[in-house]
Amino acid sequence: MKETIVFVHGMCHGAWCWEEHFIPFFEKLGYTCVAFNLPGHEVQGSTRRISYSLGDYVEALHRVVANLETPPIIIGHSMGGMILQHFLKTGTCKKAILLASVPPSGVLFASLRALFRYPGLIPYLLQFNLLGGFKKYPQLMFNVPDLCERYAPLMCAESFVAYLGLMFPLKHRTSVTLLVVGGSADGLITVQEFADTAKHYRAQLEIIEGGSHDLMLDKDFEKTAEVIKRWILNSDH
């Protein structure tokens, strides 16, 4: 039976962020790939305000995994990485990959750094308009201008309630085999935070030189995909 990889997207994204590069890459290797939209993220570019909680998103992942015949490999990006970490408190999977993930310590320090670096984010935050902030400063996620222009219009409104849920530290640890992957040029999460996440979970750490926050959409996405591929294969032995 083929192994299944479940992809969990991050804030203001949708299943679309996996469909261009990562899903074709892993399907060619023989994996069954499942990418789903978190509640409220079904429409690309939607500006409709939503108010789902982080718990609602975690429950959505539980529902996806419950419909599978065997425990999958799960890759969670950014907020999706924190969703995956919460999932692992009660759920199970074969392996887990935290891709440019919010660290267990939460998103508070990342938020403060972003506000200090880009004070123009403050009005958007006061209006609970996370999408507006990311569209104003897409370099937080992408480090190449043409990628900003290409993908920013696809991003959708995010729940401020879920964002607040990311503020709270997570102390839980897991016995699931886990990989932490981050980019050295991530505009939101620092290399030190990636290292702290790996230390927290006693996990392997891989830093992609020059990689942005949206590693799965980088022009050099194959570097990240290859790292994940090798880890999955090697951790089987």
Side chain identity at residue 229, one-letter code: K
- Over the chain, what is the mean pLDDT? 96
**pLDDT of 215 over the 90 cut:** yes
**Predicted local distance difference test score (pLDDT) of residue 54:** 98
CATH number of 4-234: 3.40.50.1820
**Predicted local distance difference test score (pLDDT) of residue 1:** 65
Of 50, 36, 16, 15, give the one whose Cα is nearest residue 163: 50
**pLDDT of 145 over the 90 cut:** no
Residue 107 pLDDT level (bands cut at 50, 70, 90): very high
Residue 179 pLDDT level (bands cut at 50, 70, 90): very high
**pLDDT of 188 over the 90 cut:** yes
Kindly list the domain boundaries of the chain, sorted by start residue.
Answer: 4-234
Distance between CA atoms of 65 and 235, rounded to whole angstroms?
Answer: 21
Distance between CA atoms of 232 and 222, rounded to whole angstroms?
Answer: 15
pLDDT (mean) for 201-222? 97
How many CB atoms are located within 10 Å of the residue 147 CB? 18
**Predicted local distance difference test score (pLDDT) of residue 10:** 98
Please, which residues have CB within 8 angstroms of residue 173's CB and are 6 or more apart in sequence?
200, 201, 202
How many helices (H) and strands (E) would you count in the chain?
A: 11, 6
Q: Give DSSP secondary structure letters for 33-102.
A: EEE-PPTT--STT--------HHHHHHHHHHHHHTSSSPPEEEEETHHHHHHHHHTTT---SEEEEESPP
pLDDT (mean) for 92-98? 96
Residue 237 pLDDT level (bands cut at 50, 70, 90): low
Distance between CA atoms of 209 and 202, rounded to whole angstroms?
Answer: 22
**pLDDT of 160 over the 90 cut:** yes
Residue 223 pLDDT level (bands cut at 50, 70, 90): very high
pLDDT (mean) for 139-151? 91
Residue 2 pLDDT level (bands cut at 50, 70, 90): confident
Distance between CA atoms of 169 and 113, rounded to whole angstroms?
Answer: 17
**Predicted local distance difference test score (pLDDT) of residue 131:** 95
Query: Do 181 and 215 contact (CB within 8 A), yes or no?
Result: yes
Of 165, 215, 217, give the one whose Cα is nearest residue 194: 215
Residue 9 pLDDT level (bands cut at 50, 70, 90): very high
What are the tokens at 170? 């997570």
Give Cα separations from 207 to 114, 118, 183 (angstroms): 21, 25, 5
> Residues 43-75: pLDDT tens digits?
999 999 999 999 999 999 999 999 999 999 999
